[in-house]
């Protein structure tokens, strides 16, 4: 399972890397959704200009409930709140019915941080730190801009 988890997270990092520098003030995030059978069913990255977010891009093709029981691999903690008032990524994952969320890097943005806690409060298993060193480089400038 650990090797499969790493492979899926590395794919999420590839997606985020491909968008790095194209997402405006938002960080470039990658998200891979894996079905209960262990196969990737969708993926996405933060769009040009910073919206939609990666989780929204990955969940969109699944028509809402298509992710029931799935695992989401996300390079940065799913946001707790959106600056534009849309549904937060943590809420989208909860509503989609995922059974587990694996996060590489925890968010330091005041509206981003807390997504993990919201997901856990909904009874969903969350793991953090997978491929963290590899993903962290993507967020150095973003976190520095928050200071």
Give catalytic residue positions.
Answer: 55
Radius of gyration of the chain (CA): 13
Residue 11: strand, helix, or coil: helix
Strand segments (E) across the chain: 30-34, 40-45, 71-76, 100-105, 125-128
Pairing between strand 71-76 and 125-128? unpaired
């Amino acid at each position: 399972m650990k090797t499969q988890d790493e492979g899926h997270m590395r794919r999420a990092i590839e997606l985020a890397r491909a968008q790095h520098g194209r997402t405006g003030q938002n960080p470039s995030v990658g998200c891979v959704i894996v079905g209960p059978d262990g196969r990737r069913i969708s993926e996405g990255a933060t769009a040009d200009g910073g919206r939609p977010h990666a989780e929204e891009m990955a969940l969109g093709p699944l028509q809402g409930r298509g992710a029931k029981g799935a695992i989401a691999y996300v390079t940065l903690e799913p946001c707790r709140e959106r600056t534009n008032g849309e549904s937060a990524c943590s809420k989208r994952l909860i509503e989609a019915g995922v059974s587990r969320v694996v996060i590489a890097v925890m968010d330091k943005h005041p509206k981003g941080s807390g997504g993990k806690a919201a997901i856990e409060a909904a009874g969903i298993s969350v793991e953090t730190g997978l491929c963290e060193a590899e993903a962290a480089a993507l967020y150095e400038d973003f976190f520095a801009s928050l200071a």
